[in-house]
């Protein structure tokens, strides 16, 4: 009988890393993988390296045959968006389904007990998803504890960005674009270039109604608004830390950023 594969997708984010720590001893045959869009922020690779060293695991780095720019061209220059997520399909889901092929597999998904989202549901019947954190009641505080106890802590991007994923991900909030501009000006420039690099003069924006350069032109205002919002949220949720408030973003990509 063919063996069932046990797989865990790492995003470079805290939840999937915590799940890897949590299951490492329980499922020794686990296959860890990371689907690389080649548009990730550098801190993601650093955090994966740290995890690899800490657990002594091997991570399979998967990639699509063709890169983002190829699919952008196929989409006639239309940038992906929450409504048109061809990036996730082409750069994340297809390489994953190829990696599994026709094998029977159990995919361990890091959705937490305090989250209200469903995550990626494989379209293939040979892949079954399970949610250990939901089953075992592990919430955000539990994830932080797992990472602290393992000596890993949070990914380094966490003080300016709430999720892993592509540097130009359209799920970013404006304050995170400001963070990209301050922490990786070169990547910000490349993201801005994607908005305007059309020979016929078309301009697409990662954010609805505002270009990245317009966002940066009013970055002090965005920072002030964000500080005020955070202050208000912290005042009404006194048992939450700053990073918990930053984490309360249910709009992000559940395939790329768990």
Strands 105-108 and 5-10: parallel
| Interacting residue with ligand SF4 among 165, 174, 216, 247 (CB under 6 A) | 165
| Interacting residue with ligand SF4 among 47, 171, 194, 246 (CB under 6 A) | 171
Residues in 79-98 at the binding interface with ligand SF4, rule: CB under 6 A: 80, 85, 87-88, 91-92
CB of 250 to ligand SF4, least distance (A): 14
59, 60, 124 from 52: Cα distances, Å: 7, 11, 29
Outline where the chain has alpha helix (H): 14-24, 42-55, 68-74, 86-87, 94-100, 132-135, 140-149, 174-183, 185-196, 212-217, 219-236, 242-247
Please name the residues in contact with 243: beta carbons below 8 A apart, sequence gap of 6 or more. 154, 158
CB 231 within 8 A of CB 193: no
Q: Does residue 253 bind ligand SF4 (CB under 6 A)?
A: yes
175 counts as binding ligand SF4 under rule CB under 6 A: no
Whichever of 67 and 142 has its CB closer to ligand SF4, that residue is: 67
Q: Which of 216, 258 has the CB closer to ligand SF4?
A: 258
Query: Shortest Cβ contact with ligand SF4: which residue?
Result: 165
The answer to whether the beta carbons of residues 206 and 170 sit under 8 Å apart is: yes
Q: Which of 16, 37, 205, 254 binds ligand SF4 (CB under 6 A)?
A: 37
Question: Per-residue string for binding with ligand SF4, 40-79, x by CB under 6 A?
Answer: ----------------------------------------
Is the Cβ of residue 98 or residue 221 nearer to ligand SF4 in the bound state? 98
CA-based nearest residue to 103, from 27, 1, 3:
3
How far apart CA 258 and CA 252 sit, in angstroms, is 9
Q: Which residues bind ligand SF4 (CB under 6 A)?
A: 37, 80, 85, 87-88, 91-92, 165-166, 169, 171, 253, 256
């Amino acid at each position: 009988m063919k063996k069932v594969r046990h797989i865990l997708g790492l995003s470079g984010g805290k939840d999937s890393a915590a799940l890897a720590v949590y299951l490492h001893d329980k499922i020794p045959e686990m296959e860890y993988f990371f689907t690389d869009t080649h548009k990730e922020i550098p801190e993601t690779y650093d955090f994966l390296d740290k995890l690899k060293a800490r657990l002594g695991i091997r991570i399979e780095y998967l990639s699509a045959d063709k890169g983002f720019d190829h699919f952008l061209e196929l989409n006639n220059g239309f940038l992906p968006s929450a409504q048109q997520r061809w990036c996730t399909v082409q750069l994340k889901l297809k390489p994953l389904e190829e990696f599994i092929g026709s094998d029977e597999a159990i995919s361990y998904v890091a959705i937490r007990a305090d989250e209200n989202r469903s995550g990626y549901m494989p379209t293939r019947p040979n892949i079954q998803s399970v949610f250990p954190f939901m089953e075992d009641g592990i919430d955000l505080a539990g994830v932080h504890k797992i990472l602290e106890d393992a000596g890993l802590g949070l990914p380094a991007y966490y003080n300016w960005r709430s999720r892993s994923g592509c540097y130009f991900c359209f799920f970013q909030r404006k304050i995170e674009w400001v963070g990209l501009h301050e922490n990786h000006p070169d990547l910000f420039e490349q993201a801005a270039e994607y908005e305007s690099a059309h020979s016929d003069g078309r301009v697409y924006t990662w954010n609805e109604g505002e270009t990245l350069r317009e966002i940066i032109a009013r970055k002090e205002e965005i920072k002030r608004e964000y500080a005020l919002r955070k202050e208000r949220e912290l005042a009404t949720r006194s048992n939450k830390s700053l990073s918990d408030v930053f984490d309360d973003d249910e709009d992000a990509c559940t395939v790329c950023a768990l």
